[in-house]
Structures are given as C-alpha cells and as structure tokens.
Amino acid sequence: MSLGASNPEYVNARVRSRRASLFADEDYRKLIRMGPSEIARFMEETEYEREINALGTRFSGVDLIEYALNRNLAKHFEDLLDWSEGRLYDLVSRYLRKFDVMNLKTIIRGIYTETDPEEVQTDLIRAGELDDRTIDRLLDVDTIEDAVEVVSGTIFYESLSDAHEEYEETGALVPLENALDREFYEHLLEDVSRSPGRTQPQEGPEARYIEFLQAEIDFRNARNALRLARSGADLDPAAYYIEGGVLFDASDLNRLVGDYDALVDHIAENKRYGDRLSGALGRLREADSLIQFEHALDAALLQYADTLSSIYPASVSAVLSYILAKEREVENIRAIARGREVGLSESEIEEELVIL
C-alpha cells in the first residue's frame, strides 16, 4: 500500500486525452477491408507509428502488428502507473498486475520448453508492476527454481514457492500457473473489502470500482463454469473457483456445473447482473457460441465503466474505462489482422469484434 496524496485530476486529464485518440468504430470498418500489410501501414499513420517503425525491420505482417500492439499497450499502461500516486496507484496497480501474471507465465513456460530468451522477450507485455530489471533477470535464469527466487519480495513469491514443490513432484506447470492466478485475484480485493477493521465503502467511485473488480471475478468464475459445463470435462470445479465474487459460492458452482440451463438461469436471476446482461444471456440460451457471450460481457463492462467515468469525473473510473477501451482496441485490431491472415470473411471478422 503506497502512502501520500493521490492525484486523480492530473491522471484523468491525461487519460481522457488518450482515450479520445483511440480508434473509432469507423476505423474498424476500414480495417476489416484491409490486408495485414495495409493494416500495418494504417497503424503507422496513427499513434502506433513509433512501435511499427521500431519493429518493422525485424518482423512483418501479422507478427509486426501483434508485437507493435503489445508494445504500445505496455507503454500506455506503464505510463498510467508512472503518473498515479497514492491511493490511485494502489487501485490501478492491483488491476494491471494481471500483466505481471501473464509475463511470469510466459517466462515460466519459456524456461520449461527451453525457448530462446530473445523470443520469450518479444512475447512479454511489460505493463505490470514488476520492473524491467526483475524481468530481465527472469529472462536470464535457466531453471524454474531460480526464477522463483528472483521474484522473492514480490507478492507472488510465497505461493509460487509452494507451487514449485508440487511442480517438482508432478512435473506439470498447472500448479504454478494456478498459483499465479490465485494470487492475483486474492490481491485484487485485498484491503478494500471484507477485511477486518475496514468496512467496505458503500457508495462513491471506490465502491463502484470494487464492484467492477468483483464483476471481474464473477465473470471469470462464470466463464470457467460455462466452459466446464459445455465441454463436459471431468474436472473438479472447486479447484478453479476464485473467491471474492458475489455471483457464486463454491457450493453453487459444484451444483450448477452439471446443469447448463440452471447455470444460465442462475446468472440471469442475479440482481446485479441479470438486467444488464439480459441480451447476452438470451443469446447464450439459444446455444450460440460462448465467444458471443464473452464479447457481450466485455461490451457491457466497457459501457458501464464509461457511465461511471461521467458520474464520478475525478476518480479512478476514468482510468478504468481507458484501460478497458485500450484493451478492447488492441484485441480488436489483433482479431482483424489474424482473421484476415486466415482468410475469414468480413462478416465473420465483425462477429469477433467488440463494438459498442
């Protein structure tokens, strides 16, 4: 927890300006009709110019687009952490830590498969809290044990070293990856809710932000449950359950995974999400693809974050809405580029996009 005054006004002004320079929906329509190299050229004329130029000599086509997107995302999110101070930093960093988790997973997998560190490095999105030096040291080590030692002092150390023992016995990466995820979600709501000695704020921007983080956990649980129910895989749902949400508790999840319709009903009956997601749930009932539902979730979250940022102008809400919008942009461009590469039709690609 960092101390000192927070500076939402400054961060807000910068974030809103950057939010305004994101791609508009018309740009996506233009991009859908382009091939990968045209997309790269289009991006060169926008704010991705620097990344495209820096990477242009080493990569081409879809790879170039993908790495440029990642680098740009990392740059902007790193900026967010640089600007924020005090309480605001605290709130922003706990969400951006998900990139730390992603990077650590990538690095561990890289070590496991003995991939060249250079290649691993291009896959990283350096947007989280771990500094460049730690990540560079992680790239240098040869064994997972050493990697765990490098992250000592971060929040991930304890659970990673526990999981490492399990990894030594079984030789599977799953315990390590689960440990990272679990640590991330546990810290998401740390100090802000349900901890003794501190009451959860009931109204105001911070309460809404906590609601958003809870929604993140709920949707993660819902996604896992839906996937388990769909695939019929014989896995213990409790092993994937993440605490802190309001939609499920562990016993609900165990009961509902067996019955797909009951699961959808359970989400629809929840008073916090039922109304907002009614459209998406309707589509899910018609046994459409899960992807459609997940995109509807993303769009609903994004719209909600936008509303919040106009209700509470000087708070963490605007930052949150920018983070979501930027992630959406990166994902959309990636989907378009990948879709064009494998030759999907325009309408098929459009289905993959999250457009409001």
Partner 1 sequence: MIEALDIVLQNGEAMSPEAAENLSVGYAEAAAAIAVGLAALAAGYAERGIGAAAVGAIAEDDDMFVPGLIMTVLPETLVILALVVVFIVG
Site of interaction with partner 1 (CB under 8 A) = 7, 9-14, 17-18, 83, 314
Contact 221, 248 (CB under 8 A): yes
List all residues 6 or more positions away from 21 whose beta carbon is below 8 Å from its beta carbon. 47
CB of 126 to partner 1, least distance (A): 22
List all residues 6 or more positions away from 232 whose beta carbon is below 8 Å from its beta carbon. none
Phi, psi values for residue 8, rounded to 5°: -65, -30
Which amino acid appears at position 118 of this protein? E
Choice between 11 and 300, CB closer to partner 1: 11
Choice between 85 and 129, CB closer to partner 1: 85
CB of 17 to partner 1, least distance (A): 4
CB of 319 to partner 1, least distance (A): 12
End-to-end CA distance of the chain: 35
Choice between 12 and 214, CB closer to partner 1: 12
CB of 9 to partner 1, least distance (A): 4
Choice between 47 and 331, CB closer to partner 1: 47
CB of 162 to partner 1, least distance (A): 42
Contact 134, 151 (CB under 8 A): yes
Choice between 13 and 291, CB closer to partner 1: 13
Choice between 17 and 307, CB closer to partner 1: 17
Phi, psi values for residue 59, rounded to 5°: -125, 170
Choice between 82 and 191, CB closer to partner 1: 82
CB of 12 to partner 1, least distance (A): 7
CB of 308 to partner 1, least distance (A): 18
